[in-house]
Amino acid sequence: MNLADLNKIARAMVAPGKGVLAADESGGTIKKRFDAIGVESTEDSRRDYREMMFRSQQAMSNYISGVILYDETIWQNAADGTPLVRLIEQAGAIPGIKVDEGTQALPGCPGELVTVGLDKLAERLAKYYERGARFAKWRAVIDINQASHIPSMTAIHVNAHALARYAALCQQAQIVPIVEPEVLMDGDHDIDRCVEVTTRVLNKTFQELRIQRVELEGMILKPNMAISGKKSKTQASVAEVAEKTVRMLKACVPAAVPGIAFLSGGQSDEDATAHLDAMNRIGGLPWPLTFSYGRALQAAPQKAWSGRSENVAAGQQAFTHRARMNSLASKGEWTAAQETQKAA
């Protein structure tokens, strides 16, 4: 492993004003997104949609540092025959790849999941590297359900162990691992319960990363923010989310980590931007804080595009706008008023 090179890629992924586009929806998830806009999910429609984003020159060159791809996408070519990975590289961004293979029920822990995909991962990583991937992503999913006493320590432990196994294999393959332990915001818990669970998850994850000799300088952390559950009666303010998230991360994430790129987790587009902005306004942090959003970057362009070739420009404009808003937020320079200004 060449740690200096891994660190260089990791720092480029969180370069000032830039963040990562999570376009790694699996077949089932992209179908759900397309169903919502009345588009049939086919190999071609998925390609057309993603090609539209990757050809958004403004967004890709100025605000997007890297793109997380799904296995199908990394092998796909644009309509003119150019590999989609080349489009990303030509725009100056870094191609990445989701390498987990989804979740399975965790035996002995009703209602809990473990992320799978370690089998033959070393071989798959070698092929992805050859194709151009320089970073990867693995997402662990931790639910909070107060009535069922979820999450269990077992779920936290096995998921952290798998994340660390994955990260070690990535570094060995000269690929930067994005380590994504996601605590879901689906429940009725308040923000303090989210902080409590996320703290346990992050502490366990870093413990496993150390045990498995993962070099922290050669990875990126992709966490959830400290946030109220969607069904909670009390919704924390933007200032509270920012303050509690920063405090939690400072307590759990070593300064050696080159950067933190948040998931959006089902927040509205503008909430995800406002929260990131408020955190960056606090300042004085040991790592850059940026975005690695899926839904909060793509909901608007998906709607604007709606599967019609005549809407490609509108889709690109919507994507560029969200990417620019989040770029501003990653520098603590976003204001709500900018939401209504045209993309520069």
Helix and strand counts by DSSP (H, E) for the chain: 13, 10
Instruction: Give yes or no: 243 in active site.
Output: no
Q: What element of type H or E holds 32? A: helix 27-36
Shortest Cβ distance from residue 146 to ligand 5MM (Å)? Answer: 22
* Minimum gap (Å) between residue 113 Cβ and ligand 5MM: 11
- In the complex with ligand 5MM, which residue's Cβ is closer, 3 or 105? 105
Least Cβ distance, residue 224 to ligand 5MM (angstroms): 8
Q: Write the DSSP string, 286-313.
A: SS-EEEEESHHHHHHHHHHHTT-GGGHH
> Which runs of consecutive H residues, i.e. helices, occur in 75-113?
84-90
Residue type for position 341: Q
**Smallest distance from ligand 5MM to CB 103, Å:** 8
Q: What is the C-alpha separation between 292 and 96, in angstroms, rounded?
A: 12
As a whole number of angstroms, the distance between CA 209 and CA 211 comes to 6
Alpha-carbon gap, residue 47 to 126, rounded angstroms: 24
Pull the structure tokens for residue 207: 């413990």
Check: CB of residue 293 under 8 Å from CB of residue 262. yes
CB-side neighbour CA atoms (13 Å) of 125: 24
Q: Measuring CA to CA, how many Å separate 83 from each of 88, 209, 277?
A: 9, 34, 34
Q: Give the list of residues 6+ apart from residue 287 with CB closer than 8 angstroms, or none.
A: 14, 253, 255, 257, 258, 259, 260
**Which two tokens mark 297?**
């970057």
Residue 111: CB minimum distance to ligand 5MM, A = 17
Active-site residue, selected from the candidate residues 18, 98, 222, 244: 222
Of 116 and 211, which CB lies nearer to ligand 5MM in the complex structure?
116
Structure tokens of 36? 């919502």
**Are the C-beta atoms of 294 and 50 separated by less than 8 Å?**
no
Site residues, ligand 5MM (CB under 6 A): 22, 24-26, 29, 68, 139, 182, 263-265, 293-296
- Closest to ligand 5MM by CB, 98 vs 244, is 98
Task: Tell me the closest approach of the beta carbon of residue 218 to ligand 5MM, in angstroms.
Answer: 20
Token pair of 202, please?
A: 């992050």
The active-site residue out of 25, 180, 182, 240 is 180
For the question of residue 72 being annotated catalytic, the response is: no
Q: List, by residue number, the catalytic residues.
A: 180, 222
